[in-house]
Amino acid sequence: MSLPTLLSQHIVRRPQRIALLQHIAEQGSITRAAKSAGLSYKAAWDAIDELNNLAQKPLVERSVGGKGGGGARLSSEGERVLRLYQKLQALQAQVLEAAEDASDLDLLGRLMLRTSARNQLHGQVVAIEAQGRNDLVRLQLAEGLKVDAQITHDSTERLELQIGTDVVALIKAGWLDVMAVDAAQTPENNCLTGTIDTILNADDGPSEVRITLPNGLTLCALAEPGHLQDLGLTHGKPVRVEFPPSRVLLGTPL
């Protein structure tokens, strides 16, 4: 992916991190630039590291310590990117004016996400429960369906999750246990009930089971043909899938 593409994603989804370049150019100090950009000192350093890694050439040259918590200035590459940012700001304003609805940009961001996980469910954080070093994050999907994800507390902070945050839940097809609707449920597991839409049998290996949920979303699960046959699960039959919260990955737009 090209540098303009990577950085344009940051501009649309995380404008503070790119705007930090302009503040550094103006302030010459990490501490003052962070304050002007509305970031913590640590967040500013993390942002600089991320931007430098994305660009593959340092955008910011810095020195530890000194007056104001460390001096910093843009490299020639950083100055070039800042000019790009200023041009894209003007373009972004035009895109915002053209968007028919504010949710259009969020939708485009979700559609552009690429991942190996077959199941990608958009939801909103409705609760975060601390569990030692982990957090149990509850998501509300469309039509009131809920899914729990167990992630580390560090991940919660890194993703900046809070009540109301939009996220994408990623669940690999092989992580879903396909069960009969009347089977005993494991209390701590996520449990979703739907209808089998399609079963795609493979020449060698598990079958792909596509399940339509009540809210219209589709899940993809893997199950051995013999297991499906034993449970009498065929096209049009009700089915249940279970999966532990620890097998739900969370992603947020950059």
User: Per-10-residue mean pLDDT for the chain, 254 residues long?
Assistant: 43 63 88 87 77 71 58 86 76 59 59 66 93 95 91 92 91 94 92 93 89 86 95 95 95 73
The answer to whether the beta carbons of residues 32 and 25 sit under 8 Å apart is no
Angle, alpha carbons 54-60-63 (nearest 5°) = 130
The answer to whether the beta carbons of residues 213 and 221 sit under 8 Å apart is no
**Residue 61 pLDDT:** 82
b/e map of 30-51 (b: 16 or more CB within 10 Å)? Answer: bbbbbebbebeeebbbebbeeb
Residue 239's φ and ψ, nearest 5 degrees, are -150, 160
Nearest to 39 by CA among 253, 9, 109, 50: 50
**Residue 136 pLDDT:** 97
pTM for the full model?
Answer: 0.60
**Residue 202 pLDDT:** 83
Domains of the chain listed by start with CATH number = 3-98 (1.10.10.10), 118-168 (2.40.50.100), 173-247 (2.40.50.100)
DSSP calls for 161-175: --TT-EEEEEE-GGG
